[in-house]
Amino acid sequence: IESHKLDDFVTSIMEVDVQNSSESVDSYEDDKYSIMNSTIEGCNVVAFIQRTTILDFYARGFVRLVCFTYISSDKTKVYRLLNRLKTYFREVTNQIRSSNQSQFLMDLSSALESRKAEE
């Protein structure tokens, strides 16, 4: 598969507007899973996708969407690994959220201190 075609597929995964779809991530704690199928140059490509949010002081609404994806040309393999992928992605998400929460609180504290200094 030509790399630019695969790049287009990856971009289409990342461009999903979860705020305006049935896959919306409703809160900071919600993770949404989906499977996306495509054909690129006659090759079937399957993606298992987890969308989640992390706290981000600089993002609109203080949350940023994060997407983890496993891509394979073997649909059977993706379905066979589905529970394991969910578990691994959830573990990664929990680790990221743990350190992310500390960073968010530091950013928030710093902003509050700067605001107080301005007054």
Half-sphere exposure of 51 (CA within 13 A, CB side): 23
Nearest to 38 by CA among 49, 30, 48, 46: 46
Please tell me the distance from the alpha carbon of residue 102 to that of residue 108, in angstroms, as a whole number.
10
CA 59 to centroid of chain Cα atoms: 15
Strands annotated E in the chain = 32-40, 43-55, 63-72
Please tell me the distance from the alpha carbon of residue 31 to that of residue 4, in angstroms, as a whole number.
29
- For 35-85, how does the pLDDT look when each residue is reduced to its tens digit (9 = 90+)? 988 887 777 889 999 988 889 999 888 888 888 999 998 999 999 999 999
State if pTM tops 0.75.
Answer: no
